Amino acid sequence: MPPTCLACRHVRRREIDEALLAGEPLRSIAKGVSLSPAAIFRHKSHLGERLVAVHKQQEAREARTLAERLDELARFANTLAREAVDGGDKRTALLGVRELARLLELEARASCELAPTPHVQVNIANLMASDLGALDLEQRELLLDKLLATGARPPVSALRAI
């Protein structure tokens, strides 16, 4: 009769299996349960498709939880925006709409329906007034918002051009 896997007989087998499924390094798993990395490596083949399927189901449940939380936030933002519209506060209503758009974007990114936007970094000190003059009003406002958000200190000539 062949010897049984040490990890399969281990009292902390469930913990070992969960750590393997989570992708933890074999050495750290082995150290935590007082087995050799080789024993953990051999045990990895015993996990089987069933445990992998359980792990995928758990990830799907967590993803649904995220979607539910996003929905809850969207409902709350929608309620606040409606109250602002009813109260005649257009500025707050617009902020509510912006927040709803941000939540929709986040949801689309999480579901891979929207590709991530490329990150572009611009050194404002190297921009010429003519470069900034070519921007439309919305682009100038966006640039100014980004500058203020990052705490950048652009030259006065660049600020005048914006």
pLDDT of 3 higher than 60: yes
In whole angstroms, what is the distance from residue 159 CA to residue 7 CA?
65
Percent of the chain with pLDDT over 70: 71
Q: Which residue has the higher pLDDT, 26 or 157?
A: 26
Output the CA torsion sign for 27, 30, 34, 40.
Answer: negative
Domain extents in the chain: 6-46, 62-110, 124-161
pLDDT in tens, 85-104: 888 888 888 887 788 888 77
pLDDT of residue 9: 87
> CA-CA distances (angstroms) from residue 107 to 6, 31, 57, 71, 157?
44, 39, 20, 9, 40
pLDDT of residue 130: 58
In whole angstroms, what is the distance from residue 40 CA to residue 98 CA?
50
pLDDT of 119 higher than 70: no
pLDDT in tens, 14-56: 899 888 878 899 999 999 999 999 999 888 887 776 667 777 7
